[in-house]
């Protein structure tokens, strides 16, 4: 291996070690079970309040949003999480959200697989 290639390998190793485990502010990133996405509306705050008792697979209207929550599951981060399918009432782009429970409260977590589900 050429002498300069060790520098490349070392640089990549450091980037992977620091980039995958922490956010730009040094807080734990999704790979270490950290990270939160703040609710952006009153309806999203209400979703988090109702999530504990929200039925599995049935649409629930929360403010101007229709939410279909999947069954809770135990995530590798050690938290209980639920995938949500969220659609604006009256049409619009649906989106997937990930909510997790940290102790007694639910919060939105970064979802590395988030996509727009469809357009109306």
Give domain limits for the chain.
Answer: 1-35, 36-118
pTM, rounded to two decimals: 0.66
Residue-wise DSSP of the chain = --HHHHHHHHHHHHHHHHHTTB-TTSSB-GGGT---B---SHHHHHHHHHGGGPPBSSEEEETTEEEEEPPPEE-TTSSEEEEEEEEETTS--EEEEEEEEETTEEEEE--TT--EEE--
- pLDDT tens per residue, the chain (120 residues)? 555 444 444 433 333 333 333 333 334 444 444 689 999 999 999 999 999 999 999 999 999 999 999 999 999 989 999 999 999 998 889 999 999 998 889 999 986 765 555 544
């Amino acid at each position: 291996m050429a002498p300069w290639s060790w520098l490349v390998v070392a640089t990549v190793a450091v980037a992977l070690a620091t980039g995958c485990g922490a956010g730009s502010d040094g807080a734990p990133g999704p790979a270490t079970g950290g990270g939160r996405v703040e609710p952006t509306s009153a309806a999203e705050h209400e979703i988090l309040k109702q999530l504990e008792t929200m039925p599995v697979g049935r649409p629930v209207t929360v403010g101007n949003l229709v939410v279909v929550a999947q069954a809770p599951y135990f995530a590798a981060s050690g938290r209980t999480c639920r995938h949500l399918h969220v659609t604006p009432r009256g049409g619009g782009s649906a989106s997937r959200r990930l909510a997790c429970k940290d102790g007694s409260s639910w919060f939105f977590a970064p979802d590395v697989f988030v996509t727009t589900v469809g357009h109306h």
